Chain A
Amino acid sequence: MPRVLVVDDEPNILLSLEFLMQQAGFEVTTAEDAEQAQVLISQQVPDLILLDISLPGMSGFDLLEQLRADEATRSLPVVMLTAHGREVEKEKGMALGASDYITKPFSTRELVSRVQALLDRGNGG
Chain B
Amino acid sequence: MPSRQNLLGLWMLLCGVLLFGGIGLLLWLDTVLTPATPERVALWVLGLSPAVVVLMLGMVLERRLFRPLRQFQVLLARLVASPDARSDFPLDGWLKPLQPDLDHIRDGWRGDRARLRDARDEGAAEALRIQQELEGVLQVLDLPLLICDDHQRLLLFNPAARTLFHDQPALGLGRRISQLLPHASLNDALKQLPQDGSPRQLLLPGEPRWLRCELRRLGARHGGALITLRDTTHELESDQSWRRELATLLPRLRGHAGSLGSAADALVQVEHNPELQHRLEQAISQESQALSQKVEALTRLVESHQLSQSGLEETWSNDLFSALGERLHEEAIELTPVGIPVWIRVDGPALLAMLERLIRELVQIRPVEALDIEVLLGNKRVYLDLIWQGEPLTDHQLSLWHALHLFDDPLSPRIEDVLAQHGAELWSQPRNDTDTASLRLPLPASSRGARPQPRAEQHAGQTRPEFHDFSIAELPAPDAALAHTRLEELELVVFDTETTGLDLRGGDQIISLAACRILRGRLLAQDSFDQLINPQRPIPPDSTAIHHLTDADVANAPPIEVVLPRFHQYVGPGVLVAHNAVFDLLALRLANGETGPTFDMPVLDTLLLSRTIDPTLEGHGLDALAERFELTFPPGTRHTALGDARVTAELLLALLPRLRSRGIETLEQLLELQREVEQGRPS
Query: In the bound complex, do residue B283 and residue A15 qualify as a contact, i.e. CB atoms below 8 Å apart?
Result: yes
A85-116 interface with B by 8 A CB criterion: 85, 103-109, 111
Total count of chain B residues near the partner, CB < 8 A: 23
B269-292 interface with A by 8 A CB criterion: 269-270, 276, 279-280, 283, 286-287
Query: In the bound complex, do residue B252 and residue A108 qualify as a contact, i.e. CB atoms below 8 Å apart?
Result: no
- Nearest CB of B to A15, in Å: 6
List of A residues within 8 angstroms of B257 by Cβ: 104-105
**Cβ proximity bits A43-56 to B, threshold 8 Å, 1 near / 0 not:** 00000000000100
List of B residues within 8 angstroms of A103 by Cβ: 254
List of A residues within 8 angstroms of B259 by Cβ: 10, 12-13, 16, 104
Does A84 make an interface contact (CB < 8 A)? yes
List of B residues within 8 angstroms of A111 by Cβ: 262
Total count of chain A residues near the partner, CB < 8 A: 24
Does A123 make an interface contact (CB < 8 A)? no
The residue on A at minimum CB distance from B290 is: A12
Does A17 make an interface contact (CB < 8 A)? yes
Query: In the bound complex, do residue B262 and residue A13 qualify as a contact, i.e. CB atoms below 8 Å apart?
Result: yes
Known: A104-B258, A105-B258, A106-B258. A16 touches B263 (CB 8 A): yes
User: How far is B259's CA from A104's CA once the two chains are assembled, in angstroms?
Assistant: 8
- Nearest CB of A to B289, in Å: 11
Query: In the bound complex, do residue B263 and residue A105 qualify as a contact, i.e. CB atoms below 8 Å apart?
Result: no
B248-270 interface with A by 8 A CB criterion: 250-255, 257-263, 265-266, 269-270
List of B residues within 8 angstroms of A13 by Cβ: 255, 258-259, 262-263
User: How far is B287's CA from A11's CA once the two chains are assembled, in angstroms?
Assistant: 11
Query: In the bound complex, do residue A15 and residue B258 qualify as a contact, i.e. CB atoms below 8 Å apart?
Result: no
User: How far is B287's CA from A105's CA once the two chains are assembled, in angstroms?
Assistant: 12
Query: In the bound complex, do residue B261 and residue A84 qualify as a contact, i.e. CB atoms below 8 Å apart?
Result: no
Say which residue of A12, A20, A82, A85 sits within 8 Å of B283 (CB atoms): A12
The residue on B at minimum CB distance from A81 is: B258
User: How far is B287's CA from A74's CA once the two chains are assembled, in angstroms?
Assistant: 35
- Nearest CB of B to A29, in Å: 17
The residue on B at minimum CB distance from A102 is: B258
Known: A12-B286, A12-B287. A108 touches B262 (CB 8 A): yes
List of A residues within 8 angstroms of B287 by Cβ: 12
**Cβ proximity bits A1-34 to B, threshold 8 Å, 1 near / 0 not:** 0000000001111011101100100000000000
- Nearest CB of B to A9, in Å: 10
User: How far is B253's CA from A37's CA once the two chains are assembled, in angstroms?
Assistant: 25
A12-B283, A20-B266, A54-B255 known; 15 new pairs, CB 8 Å cut-off, are A12-B259, A12-B263, A15-B280, A16-B259, A16-B283, A23-B269, A54-B251, A81-B258, A83-B254, A85-B251, A103-B254, A104-B258, A105-B254, A105-B260, A106-B262
Which 7 residue pairs are nearest across A and B when measured between Cβ atoms? A104-B258, A105-B257, A83-B251, A12-B283, A83-B254, A16-B262, A83-B255
